[in-house]
Structure 1
Amino acid sequence: MERLIVLSPGKTTAINLAIQCRNIFGKYIKVEPYCFSDDLDFDISSSLVVLSSPSIINDRIQVLIDKGLDYIIGRRVIHHKHIQELLDLPRASEVLLVNDREETTYQAIAQLKALGVNYIKYYPYYPGVDSYPKLDIAVTVGEPRLLPYEAKKIIDIGTRQLDITTLADIAKRLGLIEVLGDNLSSHYLNEIIGLLNQINDDAKEMKIIGNRLNTVANCLPKAILYVRNNGNIIVSNKVMYDLLGAGEKDIIGKNIKDVLPNLSISDDKDNDKDEIVSIGGNTLFVTSNVIEGRDSEDGIIYTFEKSEEIEKNEHIIRRLTTRKAIRTDHYTFKDIIYEANSMEELIKRAKIFANTDSTILIQGENGTGKELFAQAIHSASKRASEPFVPVNFAAMPTNLIESELFGYEGGSFTGAIRSGKRGLFEEAHGGTIFLDEIGDASLDFQCTLLRVIQERQIRRIGGTKEIPINVRIIAATNKDLVREINKGNFRSDLYYRLNVLPLRMPSLRERKSDILILSNHFLSMYSKGKITDINQFINKDAIKALYDYDWPGNIRQLENAMEYLYIIGSEEGMKLNITHLPEYVLNNSINPNKSLIQEVLGDEMIWILNKLMNSNGCGRRHLSELAEKENIKLTESQIRSLLNTAKSLGLVTSTAGRNGTVLTEKGHIAASSSNN
């Protein structure tokens, strides 16, 4: 995304919401306000649009949605910072609530009442309303220009802001949740603290704000205590009451030393503290945050969280904010195409391995389908709904391996993301990590990896905390690791840690009975189902050549060959023969028997190929003259036709200059073989 668009019916609302978004996301993306009076001329392919409410979707916006507009419907709330004047109004005061539309006017009234400002009588006003009283006090939600008369007192509580869930949705859609998640949470907590700081000694205001804060506090999943500097508890919540097995009267107003005597209470207010305590048989992680407000409102907020909830939430966060989208369409054993008995036995063994969490080592040549098997094992395991994270050591620079696999803390090295980054092992938490081409890992990293496999813990670069990981490891290599151990290139202790459950992938030359079924599959795939039988597409000699070839690139090379043949066949519009095969197959498979070459290409074509080879190329007129001298009955027109056929078979190519037509490598092979 290149731009974040904030769209609202009115310009004022659009501008104010854009300012809010710019304060949070402006460092990372351009933020622009739009209203209904503007031309909606932004590029929808590079923009994320935040709609101020669901009711603004009109015909113009619907057209954009139908074209693929990427949008979020905003949820908006009263800005807590601007309601202090309302809190000062006497009970039963009557006010005119002014906003731009009927829907948003009634929403503002409902939200003010929900915040505890429910002792005021509100009368709605919006352009087009049938009737309204002319009151001394008018409250406007960022729209003072809409006042129908000059009121004695005007209270502007500002445009309703996007709530924390909408901001989180925006961050997630922009890929910024990992960068901004902590800041958003802190911003939300600061709003709660800001509300706490509005409490003053007046009993009425204490009750109003206290009720509102209790509502917010009881919605939090963590237990909380807000303690004044004198140690007295002024705010708690239901989770805390349940942990202590006590009621509100047993906690509020009491000193924290009496309620939680085993909690460390420090006189040092300069630093926030963390500790572990036991309450009611539960092990809790306690965080204390020093609050500096106004006079007696200074204090500390304690939050308590069960250790099992921390692990659960950490797992959820890993899933939701992972840098790679978690795929759900991994290959399964049903996707493996085979007829060979060796593959049948291999799959039976792999299915047994899938039911365990033991480490698997898959060995085999390149192109044999090692990652396909790894995904199939993952899909058949109890971890199937969790991440499958592949790592290719051959493709990863040595100096980046540790930071990619283990992550790093912010500021660990030049170029590091300020907030730090999780590694691939953390992203695979709960699922499977596939260590491909493990034989290419450096000896230094092999030592580190061995410790991770043994301890099931990782430590980020620049970090001091050990992070537990729950992953199933599947490693793969195309190298003979025993030979690499003997050469000193691979650690024997790591080999034995990885080689708990070994699987060896057979090469294609070891399962030649699968060549036909695999060829049919690839031809069907590239032809989108038009070709399902290779026998209908190429002749028997060409099929035999495919069987005779050793396929050093294995299944991947066979797939490439089928793609090549499909493209050639689409151009030719006829059944292909041995001369249409890729040059690496033709070079290996063409029969040096002269009669077979002549049978396939014909005597006249062989004559032309020989002349071109011996002369390093020439034109059809010169070929016609040579034919006449050698009493070969070929006219210039027939030679032109034969050259066109040779060109379509890839045997010759035309060049600029006097050489005219020259042989390709494929043509040289055919011409040379015909002379043997």
Structure 2
Amino acid sequence: MAPVKKTRAVKNVTGAVAEKAWNKLASERYVETSLLRQEIALSWKRCLQSNVDPVMSKISLVTPDLKVLAEQQRDFLRAARPHMKKLYESVKGMGFIVLLADAEGIILDLFGDRKMFNLAESLSLVPGASCSEKVIGTTSPGVCLVGRTPIQIFSREHYCQLYHDWCCSAAPVFDRQGNLLGTLDLSNNNEKLHHPLILGLVETTARAIEMELDFRRVHADFNKSFHYFKAIVDSVPEALLFFDSQGTITHINNTASKILGVSSQGYVGRQIEAVVSNYESVKQRLKNKCCWTELQFDTPKGPVYVNAHFKPIKNENSEDVGVVGTLKEVKEATGGGSIAASYTFDDLIYCSREMEELVRNAKNISFKDTTTLIQGESGTGKEIIAQAIHNYSPRLKRPFIAVNCAALPKDLIQSELFGYEEGTFTGAKKGGKAGKFELANGGTIFLDEIGDMPLTVQTNLLRVLQEKYIVRVGGSRIIPLDVRIIAATNKNLLKEVENGSFRNDLYYRLSVFVLNIPPLRERKEDLEVLLQYFIRKHASAQSIAESIIVSPQVRRIISAFDWPGNVRELENTVIYFLNSMKGSTVTVNDLPPGLKAGADVAVNLKTLEELEKQNIIETLKQCNKNITLAAGSLGITRATLYRKIKKYNIV
């Protein structure tokens, strides 16, 4: 990535002065440098040397094969388009177009508001056309490519008369080696809206594109190294499993694949906690330690119990970047199903009224054997609440069995939940096998992702709820049950009932008491306490945690973000910036790409809206509050103007 010159405050030459300079150019083919900014004057001279006609009425359109061009610039386009769309969304409805060109000035992509887009098209500004100085004269994209620096150009500073109504801002885009890849431009024909802030938005987006390209290149290099690594790991006789610092499984070797009965790609990309039923109960023992622990993997052939020896993987700075586990299969579950619930209500981190009410209600029902349904989006902590209820109840010393209904194979889910008798099917164990409900007898069974349970199994579950007993698959013996059932889902079960994918009678049996965990975006007051908690939890030492400072800009970004992944996503973000930061202050550059790329755009958007509001107020004043005249002057419809007046509360 090449260093980009610091953007200077744009001093716009007055329209009269620029027009005087241009008239002299048009009539005498002479550049009056004293009337122009230096970079504009130099560009005009280059255009004269290239015999560009400043009064041309039409631009000759010569376009290459667009398919060939798109293939040649595939990586650049793929990295740029998502960020171009974000940039456009921040100015949508204000009459802008967003343009991306390569290092030769060939337009790769262009889109924007319809009126401005049509105007651009009429001037031959389309994908495949050139926006270089040698073809269309002085414009921001062309000058940017020559000077390799951000620039804004206003109205009559443009060399060609065709663009005298235009205002444009462009910034260069470089690769990691400092080679110029192209330019990003934002243009409109309303000089009042073309504030220096616009150029800042364009620069921010250009930097985001560069970071996206860097990320994609690093990812490609990593994939190459990974193939070498995989060949080595697959050749050793030990069963090995790897996952990264976020808990995502990155590789299992051939020996581990045989034990688990899945292909080498069967678990890759999945969260370790999604395939290991008792992962939460052993997570704390795995952190920064080498230890043996029993894990239960949910596999296509049923649960597989292994003894696992885990060791952290550290980088050159002794920072944890992942974990490698050595697995040894255990033929029978030594825990007898008594998987401990490790979380209590004291482990919950919150200060919001919503969570206070949730915990109060959860505690109230803990002493009762009420069937409970926990509803909440992914990452809100449904299993943690279920474990806390179990540990607050009289059943706390009895088994807590967690079952992920979505992870169980459909053809095995009946036998996994209710067990089977000997000889029921090929490969069945001698003497049969107890199911999850039997293992949970006397305690609590937690049915996670209940909304993904097949209808046939829902019927059997309803019978268990009604009759308080089970019958193993292939058997007739009645086994009485004393089990508390807690179910959880991230789906709207009432809608599932309406769609016919969830039984109405089962829903009302499960929802005797419903706990709704609010998403993090609806309890923003919890962000700060959670942020500090995760910093303390994941910092390598307490002294380091106490010295970490989160910058005000990062706090604003964290507060403004919607957190679709909820608490889990916030925790992963903290883990990311703790491993990315260089000093003791968390800056925007330390945030994950998803937060970092749009950070400046998000922060500056409010200021941009204030500019739009002021422009509308001034236009209404000039038009004596005549809506029709004002809308025409602004280049928008009357309906759009009315919406913006309402939006900005303009009297």
Q: Shorter-chain TM-score: which interval?
A: 0.3 to 0.5
Higher relative contact order, chain-length normalized (CA < 8 Å, sep 6+): 2
Q: Which has the larger radius of gyration?
A: 1
Q: TM-score, normalised by structure 1?
A: 0.40
